[in-house]
Amino acid sequence: MPVVLITGCSSGFGEALALAFATHGYRVVATLRKPEAASPKLKALADEKPDDFLFASLDVASAASRKAAVDFAVTRFGRLDVLINNAGVGARGAFEDTPESQWRTMFDTNLFGPLELSRLVLPIMRAQGGGRIINVTSVAAVLKTPLMAAYCASKHALDTATAALDIEARGFGVRAICLMPGPFKTALPQKSLDREASAPYAAIAAHFNATFDAMEAKAPEDLTPVIDAALAAATDADPALRYPAGVDAIPILPPILQALAPLQPIGLHLTGQG
């Protein structure tokens, strides 16, 4: 049975992906900061499949925690076929109002954590002769969204690094892929590191937040497009670089993503289109 390690499984995409991959015949290492706080669904699955569904503590911003999680997976299962870097954090705030410390927090979680986990699993996957690294980015990776500069920049950097890694690693049978979700209802907004706008940006922030909140209120709760895209990214014989999911909710995105197709050798998979 193939083995997948998934980060950020406390809720949302991570929880859904852990359940889906277990259902599709994978041994799963579901990681989160506090495994004891896992959802009832995940705990029930761990009880049902104690040899094939395991929890591991992971703070993606901690080097020691990253190494311990990867070592745990390989020690228990002897291999690691798929890494899904899903853990992430959002933030709203004007560029001028966002201090260096918050930029570093965003990049530690959204960029450096996934990159370092990827570095840890590459020797393992090379020795196996294959593997998949799936980095959950966002439609924000290709947008320049006001009041979300740090988030967009971190996701764009991860998208670019993934594209470079895929070229470097494919000769070893290892592929690096971006899973690019559109808007869905998850816990990300509740955990967002938002900053109150200072006076010069108050008006634009009020307009942006009202628009953004309205979009999030209408976001779909069904995460099936994300699950389908992730399973395709893990199993397609010759995967695309980017697997968008739910991008039809933002009409401007399909043309932008199609324009990126020349960066991919086999075109673009638009999963979840209505």
Return the active site residues. Answer: 151
Instruction: Sort 140 into a burial class: Cβ within 10 Å, 0-12 / 13-18 / 19+.
Output: buried
Best CA proximity match to 178, nearest among 121, 112, 245, 128? 245
Query: Which has the closest alpha carbon to 155: 135, 171, 169?
Result: 135
CA 48 to chain centre: 26
Question: Cα 229 from chain centroid?
Answer: 12
Could you tell me the CA-to-CA distances from 218 to 177, 184, 185, 189, 213 in Å, in that order?
28, 9, 8, 13, 9
Phi, psi of 220 (to 5 degrees): -70, 145
Give the CA distances from residue 204 to residues 93, 212, 263, in Å, rounded to whole numbers and listed in that order: 11, 12, 34
